[in-house]
Amino acid sequence: MLFRPTAACYKNLKASSKTWVARQFRDPYVKKRLSDPAAYRSRSAFKLLEIDAEWDHFLQKPDVRAVVDLGAAPGGWSQVVAGKLGWGAEASKLPSGGYAYGVKSELEMEKKGTWSSPKSVSHQEVFDPLNIDALKEFTPSAGRGTIVAVDLLRMQPIHGVHAIQADFLSPEAADRIHELLSVKGNLEGKADIILSDMAGNASGNDTHDIESSLEICEAVYEFARRNLRSAEDVGRRRGGVLLMKHFEHPLLQKFRMEKLQPNFNDVKYIKPEASRSASREGYFLCQGWRAIDI
């Protein structure tokens, strides 16, 4: 699929949208996403692939049996996890709807948002489409472990991924996540890895955007504090992993010093090559949850 709007479509776009389309067309990771056999739904999938490859292949450890992806829509990171855990062999055969593909879809995604603070969203209720059931016609072999994706926006199914449409901090979502994770071998319902590629919708006001980033990071940390398996329980110093996006600022470094470093054995700041150089985004990779701050 070529990422190029028709002349008529391009002519009717606003100046800001034309700039965005031009940037997308030049972006090598956008081109790679559109041509990759894995059919990733977002270019951010390559950020997670890069981080995992560079830092100890934490997604592929044999003791990883439960992963939670917060703010998952449109599903690029969940696709990566499903592939790493052996669920992704049939992913390219899935319908490619939603906000994932094409110029119109890309612009709609920018307009409405794709994370747990979307720009416009109606009242939602928790739902749990059994994505594996939706793929009976493929009858692929099963992967391992449990993957749960949570977002206020509805996602197209991904083989091996349980999707919950809800605010991940709501009691209903917490109960459903715990229920899905509480399977044989994981009766306590804990996650081995918690991922968050969430960011608030950019307002153009630096103060507001930084405060939004901090609020999201604090919410994700609070979720991890209650739901992440400890390194001691895993039996591995770097077991119990939290990966979260943030925007670089002294307030976020203070958050790292006060919340992350005392409670994890190792905390790294990462800016993957797939992250645009002009962006202030970065990632905290926190490994070895100590479960001190309970």
Picking from 193, 190, 126, 136, the residue whose alpha carbon sits closest to that of residue 162 is 126
Angle in degrees, CA 205, 207, 210, rounded to 5: 105
Distance separating alpha carbons of residues 67 and 127, to the nearest angstrom: 18
Catalytic annotation on 18?
no
Question: Please, which residues bridge with residue 267 across strands?
Answer: 286
Residues in Cβ contact with 66 at an 8 Å cutoff, skipping those fewer than 6 apart: 145, 146, 147, 148, 181, 186, 190, 191, 192, 193, 229
Picking from 13, 64, 16, 43, the residue whose alpha carbon sits closest to that of residue 236 is 64
Question: Among 84, 245, 254, 268, which one carries the catalytic annotation?
Answer: 245
Angle in degrees, CA 163, 161, 173, rounded to 5: 30
Both tokens of 42, joined, read 């977002």
Give the residue numbers marked as catalytic: 245
